[in-house]
A and B are shown apart, each in its own frame.
Chain A
Amino acid sequence: EPEVTQTPSHQVTQMGQEVILRCVPISNHLYFYWYRQILGQKVEFLVSFYNNEISEKSEIFDDQFSVERPDGSNFTLKIRSTKLEDSAMYFCASTREGMNSPLHFGNGTRLTVT
């Protein structure tokens, strides 16, 4: 069964550094999402992306965050200047038909900001 793949599985960075988290969604999916989960807390929506543009974003997704789909297969999340509170699991997800179909999640990137 096709899977959403995320790299790296674990990223350690210093506060103030830029990080790029990478995702390869399922190939015939059209809607892409980033979520995060701080340790012990619930999954939180960051941003949704469709037709090469952001369709919705949460309050968490401020000017420090950006997303790109540079080559038709990869979907990236960039954090420009990381803060300690950005430490979390970041999950990429994709769906074929938006919210009428289930989210297919990757296994996440654990970001640790020191």
Chain B
Amino acid sequence: KNQVEQSPQSLIILEGKNCTLQCNYTVSPFSNLRWYKQDTGRGPVSLTIMTFSENTKSNGRYTATLDADTKQSSLHITASQLSDSASYICVVSATGGSYIPTFGRGTSLIVHP
């Protein structure tokens, strides 16, 4: 069964600090992995996409990594800002068969001033 597990479930950091969120998946055969940011009461917004051949991809202060061998991804946030407070969701898609992606439960990040 395709599963996506994220850790930690929640995280509190001070403004300006860095943090790293983890995603482990069992989705197979792997197609791509996306990180979404979901502000409270809003729909998720795509941050990055990682395909099988990509190890690292950056989008501003967000850097995603992918290890397809161990089926792990991380999202690193540099110099956090108050506006980074949100839920970060890892979403993994498979090739063939169902094209419906598998969502993780998300990591709730709170950035304190």
User: Which residues from chain A sit less than 8 Å from chain B, CB to CB?
Assistant: 4, 41-45, 48, 56, 58, 91, 93, 98-100, 102-108
Bound CA span A43–B106, Å: 9
Count residues on chain B whose CB falls below 8 Å from chain A CBs: 22
Docked complex: B8-65 residues within 8 A CB-CB of A: 31-32, 34, 36, 41-46, 49
User: A99-B31, A99-B93 given as contacts; is B103 within 8 A of A105 (CB)?
Assistant: no
Give the residue of B32, B42, B105, B106 whose beta carbon is less than 8 angstroms from that of A107.
B42
Q: Which residue of B lies closest to A91 (CB)?
A: B43
Bound CA span A93–B103, Å: 14
User: A56-B98, A99-B93, A102-B34 given as contacts; is B45 within 8 A of A42 (CB)?
Assistant: no
Residues of B close to A93: CB separation below 8 A: 43
Q: Which residue of B lies closest to A6 (CB)?
A: B43
Which of B34, B43, B44, B45: most chain A Cβ within 10 A? B43
